[in-house]
Amino acid sequence: MTTSKKAVNSKWASVSFADDDSIVVSILDNDSIECLWFESREQFRQALDSKMLRVKKWATTVRWSDSILKPLTLPARDLREAVKMVQFELPSLVPIPAEHLVYGCIPLKSNEVTMDVLVCVFKNDDIASHLDVCESVGILPSRICLDTVAVHSQFQRESAYGSDTQLQVLCDGIRGTLLTSVDGRLCEMSQQRYGGLSSDERQQLLFSDILHRKQNTGTNGTEAKILLAGCADSVSRVRDELVSAHGQVAPGDIVCIPTPCIRSFTDFAPLENGRYCYEAFVASGAIPVEAGSGDHEFNLLPAAVRGKIERKSLVTNATLTLALAGLVLVAAWLCLIAANHRILRYSKYLDSQILPIKDLAGSVEAKRQIVEAMQYQLSDKGLVVAVLEELYKYTPNEISISELELARDSNKAVLRLRGRSDILSNAFGYTDALQEAKLLRRLNIEDAQQVPRPGGSSVVEFRAECVLGDME
Is there binding between residue 402 and another protein (CB under 8 A)? yes
- Residues between 10 and 49 that touch another protein (CB under 8 A): none
Task: Please select the residue that binds another protein; options are 250, 404, 423, 471, rule is CB under 8 A.
Answer: 404
Is there binding between residue 360 and another protein (CB under 8 A)? yes
Is there binding between residue 332 and another protein (CB under 8 A)? yes
Is there binding between residue 328 and another protein (CB under 8 A)? no
Is there binding between residue 471 and another protein (CB under 8 A)? no
Is there binding between residue 369 and another protein (CB under 8 A)? yes
Stretch that binds another protein, among 128-136, 222-230, 250-258, 370-378 (CB under 8 A): 370-378
Q: Is 85 helix (H, G, I), strand (E, B) or coil?
A: helix
Backbone angles phi, psi at 162, to 5 degrees: -60, -30
Closest CA to 116 of 77, 151, 172: 77
Stretch that binds another protein, among 296-304, 347-355, 432-440, 458-466 (CB under 8 A): 347-355
Report d(CA 67, CA 78) in Å as an integer: 23
Report d(CA 395, CA 462) in Å as an integer: 14
| Nearer Cβ to another protein (310/405) | 405
Stretch that binds another protein, among 10-18, 247-255, 364-372, 433-441 (CB under 8 A): 364-372
Stretch that binds another protein, among 40-48, 283-291, 296-304, 369-377 (CB under 8 A): 369-377
Backbone angles phi, psi at 141, to 5 degrees: -70, 150
Closest CA to 198 of 178, 173, 176, 232: 173
Task: Please select the residue that binds another protein; options are 80, 84, 312, 358, rule is CB under 8 A.
Answer: 358
Stretch that binds another protein, among 103-111, 248-256, 371-379, 425-433 (CB under 8 A): 371-379
How many other CB atoms are found less than 10 A from the CB of residue 173? Answer: 17
Name residues whose C-beta falls within 8 Å of residue 284's C-beta, 6 or more positions apart in sequence.
Answer: 14, 26, 33, 35, 150, 154, 157, 260
Report d(CA 246, CA 239) in Å as an integer: 11
Task: Please select the residue that binds another protein; options are 6, 70, 77, 408, rule is CB under 8 A.
Answer: 408
- The secondary structure of 383-420 as a DSSP string is HHHHHHHHHHHH--TT-EEEEEEEEE-SS-EEEEEEEE
Instruction: Give the strands of the sheet with 225-230, arranged side by side.
Output: 185-193, 175-182, 165-171, 225-230, 254-256
Is there binding between residue 315 and another protein (CB under 8 A)? no
Task: Please select the residue that binds another protein; options are 336, 423, 467, 471, rule is CB under 8 A.
Answer: 336
Is there binding between residue 197 and another protein (CB under 8 A)? no
Q: Is 9 helix (H, G, I), strand (E, B) or coil?
A: strand
Q: How far is the CB of 419 from another protein (least distance, A)?
A: 9
Is there binding between residue 251 and another protein (CB under 8 A)? no
Report d(CA 150, CA 229) in Å as an integer: 14
Do residues 116 and 78 lie in contact, with contact meaning Cβ atoms separated by under 8 Å? no
Is there binding between residue 92 and another protein (CB under 8 A)? no
| Nearer Cβ to another protein (79/414) | 414
Is there binding between residue 324 and another protein (CB under 8 A)? no
Is there binding between residue 388 and another protein (CB under 8 A)? yes
* H or E segment and range at residue 134: helix 124-136
Task: Please select the residue that binds another protein; options are 133, 261, 373, 471, rule is CB under 8 A.
Answer: 373
Is there binding between residue 354 and another protein (CB under 8 A)? yes
Binding site for another protein (CB under 8 A): 329, 332-333, 336-337, 339-340, 343-344, 346-347, 350-351, 353-354, 357-361, 363-371, 373-375, 377-378, 381-385, 388, 400-409
